[in-house]
Structure 1
Amino acid sequence: MDLRTLEMHADEFLNKNFDIGLGVPIRISKRMKSRLGAFQIKYRGNEVVKNEIVISYEFIYHNTEETILDVLYHECVHYALYAKGLPYRDSDETFINALGRLGISRTRTYAYKGRSHLYECRRCRYNFSKNIKGYEKRYICGRCRGKFRYIGEMTSQN
């Protein structure tokens, strides 16, 4: 799914359900690994400088259109409530009620599908995967304080 398609679906959804248009850009991020999507508000001091909806490239590449649209609509609800001056955070009752009314999934509904990187502790042989590369350069094992080594890349398709 490309950027224009995402923008078209988001604008249609917002017009139909909130009577507002898509007033923020949508960006597809190749760097976003820990989240599937986000409505971001960027501040400089106390002033809002930029708002945007960001969707993970890996998420788009490895998921169905239905799942992608569900996450996009979730982020659109964040934006719509923010634009109307209503509580828009995941834990806010207004936000949760809006998701329920529209039949949209809550946060952390979908498991990560995509590229992961395998690591192993050199000392205690503890194995695990992370969605980021370079983990072994920044962290040590919490079990034995040993160093990690990079094993390789894998693709998960849960």
Structure 2
Amino acid sequence: MEQIQLEQHADAFLKRKFGMPLDIPIRISKRMKSKLGAFRIKYTRGKVTNREMEIVMSYTFIKNNSIETILDVLYHECVHYALFAKNQPYRDSDATFIKTLECLGISRTRTHMYKGESHLYECRKCQYQFSRNMKGYEKRYICRRCRGRFSYVGMSKKTAINR
């Protein structure tokens, strides 16, 4: 699914469910690994304009998931945007946000599993193995069990990180 298609789906959803158009950009990020999607707001001197808001979707998430799952995450982010635009509580833990998701039949945060490529690491001392969505983990961290250094083992397919 491409950016134009995401924008078309989001615009149709917002017009149908909230009576408002999509006035912010949707961006696909190849760097986003820990989240599937996000509604981002940049505050400049206490003010927010449409140019400072965006919906960001993970490239690896889009590449490795079904259209239904992608649209569910996109609609989730659209609900964040719509409630924010209407000056209503829009954060994941707000009751208004949760009720709106339930009424629309959209999944809450951390319901979809991450599917995609991950990087496998191993401790050089105790041979503890684990995987992360980011590369370069061995350069920044040490093992919490034995304080040893990590080495990069290789890439693997992963299906176990939530949104």
Partner deviation per Cα, 1:75-119 (whole Å, 9 max, x = no partner): 000000000000000000000000000000000001110010000
Instruction: In structure 2, give the amino acid aligned to 1:58.
Output: T
CA distance in 1, matches of 2:48, 2:136: 33
Please, which of 53, 56, 72 is the counterpart of residue 54 of structure 1? 56
Q: Which moved more, 1:45-54 or 1:131-140?
A: 45-54
Match of 2:154 in 1: 152
Q: Report the count of equivalent residues.
A: 158
Instruction: In structure 1, give the amino acid aligned to 2:103.
Output: R
Asked if 1:116 corresponds to 2:118, the answer is yes
Deviation at 1:157, TM superposition (A): 5.0
Partner deviation per Cα, 1:39-88 (whole Å, 9 max, x = no partner): 00012342336000000000000000000000000000000000000000
Asked if 2 retains the 8 angstrom alpha-carbon contact of 1:62 and 1:157, the reply is no
> Per the alignment, in what secondary structure is the counterpart of residue 157 of structure 2?
strand
Q: How does 1:1-158 map to 2 (within 5 A)?
A: 1-48=1-48, 50-157=52-159
Which structure is richer in relative contact order (CA contacts within 8 A, separation 6 or more)?
2
Deviation at 1:154, TM superposition (A): 1.1
RMSD, matched Cα? 1.0
Asked if 1 retains the 8 angstrom alpha-carbon contact of 2:113 and 2:159, the reply is no
Aligned-residue sequence identity (percent) comes to: 65
Partner deviation per Cα, 1:110-143 (whole Å, 9 max, x = no partner): 1110010000000111000000000000000011
> Per the alignment, in what secondary structure is the counterpart of residue 48 of structure 2?
strand
Q: Report the TM-score, using the length of structure 2 for normalisation.
A: 0.94
